[in-house]
């Protein structure tokens, strides 16, 4: 015998006791009369007691049936209420979302959007995890992530929001002192800052319109785990750095840096909204996904 109570049997018994009819219980539950009858008989065998006295015209609870009916009905109602409450939670945006976002992108472009999101969805809360390290969504218990990558992790469900191009940059003062590199291999003679969380080691892989390829391992006085830490060295004209366009845009706009090697390009990545599973998303996560699709598919840094 299973150590678990026969919840199905108890639920069907409670409905038969309420309807005073196997056929009535079957109609209410949307199952066959035979299914209800088997469930009640199984429960009686399990309990070793008859719950109903049956005749061709009448169905009546036994004394033991009376004593069990109230508790079984309570169990049925509690289970029904729990399902209804959960269904309501899953069908309307509410509850906590654990969201992982790269730090620089999160501070610049996600945090400023959150007031609008909370105005739209006041019953949703967000636990925002900011880190450039690639987190384990499943192991870390995250509901979703924004991830910037050349290719998304195929074990996860990813929706690309927009492409993100990396740019190689230098301050005018650096170029005045050290000259303008014309080919990626010339970077070997320059101070180039490194980023520790690059997906395929810290290598800059260039291609041009003719299909030529060149790989450079940046060598310089600073390697970081967050790209914002590269900016002071870059702006002071002490080194060349590679930054994603969402960071580079403001410095390019006011002339503090210039893009170099513009005839060459690094692999263009994408901004992805990622969830751990292909199963139906809770309404809160679906609402966040749609919000980011609307706000980040045409990103402001492009304007």
pLDDT digit string (tens) for 222-256? 888 888 999 999 999 999 999 999 999 999 999 99
Contact 258, 170 (CB under 8 A): yes
For 189, residues 6+ apart whose C-beta sits below 8 A from its C-beta are none
Q: What is the DSSP letter of 138?
A: T
Residue 278 has pLDDT above 60, yes or no: no
Q: pTM for this structure?
A: 0.69
d(CA 69, CA 51): 9
Strand ranges (DSSP E) for 165-295? Answer: 166-170, 194-195, 204-208, 213-216, 223-224, 241-244, 258-259, 264-265, 269-275
Q: Residue 7: its pLDDT value, please?
A: 87
What integer is the mean pLDDT of 177-204? 85
């Amino acid at each position: 015998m299973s150590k678990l109570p026969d919840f199905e049997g108890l639920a069907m018994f409670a409905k038969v006791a309420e309807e005073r009819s196997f056929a009535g219980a079957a109609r209410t539950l949307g199952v066959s009369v035979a299914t209800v009858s088997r469930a009640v008989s199984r429960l009686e065998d399990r309990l070793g007691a008859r719950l109903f006295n049956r005749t061709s015209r009448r169905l009546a609870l036994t004394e033991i049936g009376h004593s069990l009916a109230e508790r079984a009905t309570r169990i049925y109602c509690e289970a029904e209420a729990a399902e209804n409450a959960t269904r309501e939670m899953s069908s309307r945006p509410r509850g906590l979302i654990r969201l992982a976002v790269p730090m620089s992108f999160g501070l610049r472009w996600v945090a400023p959007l959150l007031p609008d999101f909370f105005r739209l969805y006041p019953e949703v809360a967000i636990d925002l995890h900011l880190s450039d390290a690639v987190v384990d969504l499943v192991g870390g218990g995250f509901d979703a992530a924004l991830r910037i990558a050349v290719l998304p992790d195929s074990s996860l469900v990813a929706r690309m929001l927009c492409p993100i191009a990396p740019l190689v940059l230098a301050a005018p003062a650096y170029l005045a002192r050290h000259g303008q590199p014309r080919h990626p291999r010339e970077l070997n003679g320059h101070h180039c800052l490194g980023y520790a969380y690059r997906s395929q080691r810290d290598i800059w892989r260039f291609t041009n319109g003719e299909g030529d390829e060149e790989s450079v391992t940046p060598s310089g006085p600073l390697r970081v785990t967050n790209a914002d830490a590269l900016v002071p060295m870059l702006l002071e004209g002490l080194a060349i750095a590679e930054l994603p366009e969402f960071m580079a845009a403001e410095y390019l706009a006011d002339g503090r840096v210039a893009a170099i090697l513009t005839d060459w390009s690094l692999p263009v990545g994408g901004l992805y909204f990622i969830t751990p599973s292909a199963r139906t998303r809770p309404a809160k996560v679906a609402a966040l996904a749609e919000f980011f699709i609307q706000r980040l598919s045409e990103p402001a840094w492009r304007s």
